[in-house]
Amino acid sequence: MYMESKEGVFSKLRKLFGGSDKQTAPVSEPAAPAKASTEAPAAAQPASVEPAMPPMSPAEMVQEQARHLCSDAWLANRITVKAEVRDGKTYLVGSPAEAAPYIRAAYQAKKDKLPADVLLA
């Protein structure tokens, strides 16, 4: 069986993925970083101008945190937290019952970021 050298295999892979082989790579590489350095600041500015993701609701924040804390994937996918408004206050109600420890821990972890009128039921 015929085995190619490592350089031959990498050369074929570069050609396959649209790159150039080893002989022409050193000539084109020095020119590419010069272009990238002049274009990099221009590319970085639009990234900071883009709007951030909209903030999540308190129920979504606690639900996501509870799912991250739960080590059982099946249970984590079943965790739901809903917001109910009673007497002018928002109560977070979670299910299933098996997920209560994770929901409580998630509420404690996110308590600083939640509005003052949001409570855990």
Flag whether 69 is in a domain.
yes
Edge-first strand listing for the sheet containing 80-86: 80-86, 89-95, 118-120
**Non-local CB neighbours of 70 within 8 Å, separated by 6+ positions:** 76, 79, 99, 102
Flag whether 106 is in a domain.
yes
- Per the CB < 8 A criterion, the answer to whether 21 and 15 are in contact is yes
Say whether both 95 and 41 belong to one domain. no
pTM tops 0.75, yes or no: no
User: Bigger pLDDT: 22 or 95?
Assistant: 95
Question: What's the number of domains the chain is made of?
Answer: 2
Say whether both 89 and 114 belong to one domain. yes
* Integer Cα distance of 53 and 50 in angstroms: 9
Range of the domain at 33: 6-47
Each residue's pLDDT tens digit, 36-85 = 555 555 555 555 555 666 789 999 999 999 999 999 999 999 999 999 99
Confidence of residue 16 (pLDDT cuts 50, 70, 90): confident
Say whether both 85 and 33 belong to one domain. no
* Integer Cα distance of 104 and 70 in angstroms: 12
How high is the pLDDT of residue 5? Answer: 74
Query: What is the pLDDT of the chain when averaged over all its residues?
Result: 80
